[in-house]
Amino acid sequence: MKILHVETGRHLYGGARQVAWIIEGLQRHGIDNLLAAPADSAILATASAHCSDAIPLQTRKGSGFALYRELIAAIHHHRPDLIHVHSRRLAADFWGGLAARRLGIPAVLSRRVDNPEARWLAAIKYGLFDHIITISDGIRRVLLSEGVPAAKLTTVRSAIDIAAFNHRCDAKAFRQTFVLDENAIVIGVIAQLIPRKGHRYLLDVLPQIAEQHPMLKVIFFGQGAEESALKEAVTQAGLEQVVQFAGFRDDLPRWLACLDLVVHPADMEGLGISLIQAAACRVPIIASRAGGIPEIVHDGNNGILIEPGNREQLATALRTLLGDPAQRRRMGDNGRRLVEQAFSIEQTVSGNLAIYRRLLAI
């Protein structure tokens, strides 16, 4: 079985990291992988070792038809049995399906976000694919609401390298790195600094929470377009001594276990890899009941779910867990068990492979 994977992201995190794991796992199952990705992308350099060939794409943003021509050429040259489009960047979720349809190659699309689309657009785009893999049931429900047939949809959840998130907390190094008092209670927010991640909801309730918990510290891990506006909001609220901006950290696995709590009040979320990582490190979570989040955060088990945008519920959840270390430990242990049961790389690989075999009748 020869599979042509198309991933148009340039950085090796999020969806691209998942694709690299899938390709590596498929190779272990004896699958012949091809990878088409931007010539300057990290995934092309990383995953090509597990592929029979790597196809550097020259297409840039705004030139989707050029991507279509490149994929047509790649299919002609390599003759894959199936094409799997993993990304929507460069409109690959349209052009990849169109190329496969034109040449009569079965095509699969992975859908990783829960952004709603017009029904007419969904009918055109998803009509090009033989099957759509959603990384959460939340995303699957969005596509069902847009008219995509249930028989065409399968949920295969994203995974993490569980072994990489089993660190013990190096408390001394943590305090030194982030300049924290020995008795600090630390909340982590792990998300891009963009509006839909809900940082402002936390900032709105934080003054009253910090007054009740004077040793509280909040670390925003991530970067994004809202950074300057959020820093201004922190200053306006007088929270400079409470909130710090740590930026994007490629050493995040080292620090997760040192957090007392992760808060993720997002308005929308396809699944939330950072939440799986936090749960793997035995960190309890407060998050919104949005998208695929409830598939990671089981309310009352490994965290607390709130309604999106509900500041009162967020404040109540914070008071509940910040004031109860024993409950935080119990929820943290439950989260680790949940990840081990439901979010392994092998489960993701096997789920994708089962769909390929079904479509190819192998």
The tens digit of pLDDT for each residue in 94-146 reads 999 999 999 999 999 999 988 889 999 999 999 999 999 999 999 999 999 99
> What pLDDT score does 12 carry?
80
DSSP string, 30-93: T-EEEEEEETT-HHHHHHGGGSSEEEEE---TT-HHHHHHHHHHHHHHH--SEEEE---GGGHH
The domain containing residue 103 runs over which residues? Answer: 2-159+344-360
User: What is the number of domains present in the chain?
Assistant: 2
Say how far apart CA 233 and CA 301 lie, in whole Å: 33
Same domain, 203 and 335: yes
Residue 64 clears pLDDT 80, i.e. is over it: no
Same domain, 290 and 352: no
Same domain, 61 and 154: yes
Residue type, 47: A
Residue 62 clears pLDDT 80, i.e. is over it: no
Q: Is 103 left (phi over 0), alpha (psi -120 to 50) or beta?
A: alpha
Residue 277 clears pLDDT 90, i.e. is over it: yes
Same domain, 201 and 322: yes
Same domain, 226 and 145: no
Residue 222, classed as helix, strand or coil, is coil
What's the whole-model pTM score?
A: 0.86
Same domain, 53 and 79: yes
Same domain, 139 and 177: no
Same domain, 48 and 144: yes
Same domain, 206 and 124: no
Residue 323's CATH number: 3.40.50.2000
The tens digit of pLDDT for each residue in 13-42 reads 778 899 999 999 999 999 999 999 999 999
Same domain, 140 and 167: no
Same domain, 202 and 334: yes
What HEC string does 121-184 produce? HHHHHHCCCCEEEECCHHHHHHHHHCCCCHHHEEECCCCCCHHHHCCCCCHHHHHHHHCCCCCC
> What pLDDT score does 167 carry?
78
Residue 246, classed as helix, strand or coil, is strand
DSSP string, 322-337: HT-HHHHHHHHHHHHH
| 130 neighbors 108 (Cβ within 8 angstroms) | yes
Same domain, 70 and 217: no
- Across 250-274, average pLDDT: 94
